Amino acid sequence: MPLLHISLRAGKPVAYRQAIFDSLYLAMRDTLDVPEGDQFMTISEHDATNFRYGNAFGIMRRDDLVLIQITVFNTRTTAQKAALFRRIAELLGKSPGIRPEDVFVNVIEAAKENWSVGHGLAQFA
């Protein structure tokens, strides 16, 4: 039950943003065993004055940088997360054409009892 928040510079066309959604969903299906139809994602667009980044770790980023934060159950292995990072960079490179240097991913893990997916219930507790 991943929850994704994606941030990028404003101005990309709808097809570009939809390709990001599609690529991220496929990457999660391929590496995290996410069920079909499990798509809870938002994209936030920011103008240049509200989107700052650096070239930390010697990675030369450009304005096409995409910041991806994924919140998941705390049941994923290190190997699964590493595979996810690789697959995201690969798929976003293909569609919509984002350089691997411009793909920044952060995974946040939360215990199952911290989730309510509707009806005010703790479905996984």
pLDDT, tens digit only, all 125 positions of the chain: 899 999 999 999 999 999 999 999 999 999 999 999 999 999 999 999 999 999 999 999 999 999 999 999 999 999 999 999 999 999 999 999 999 999 999 999 999 999 999 999 999 88
pLDDT score of 95: 98
What pLDDT is stored for residue 111 in this prediction? 93
Model confidence pTM above 0.85: yes
- Residue 12 burial by Cβ neighbours in a 10 Å radius (0-12, 13-18, 19+): middle
For the annotated catalytic residues, the residue numbers are: 2
pLDDT at position 1, please?
Answer: 81
Domain 3-114, CATH homologous superfamily name and number: Macrophage Migration Inhibitory Factor (3.30.429.10)
| 3-state per-residue secondary structure call for the chain | CCEEEEEEECCCCHHHHHHHHHHHHHHHHHHHCCCCCCCCEEEEEECHHHCCCCCHHHCCCCCCCEEEEEEEECCCCHHHHHHHHHHHHHHHHHCCCCCHHHEEEEEEEECHHHCCCCCCCCCCC
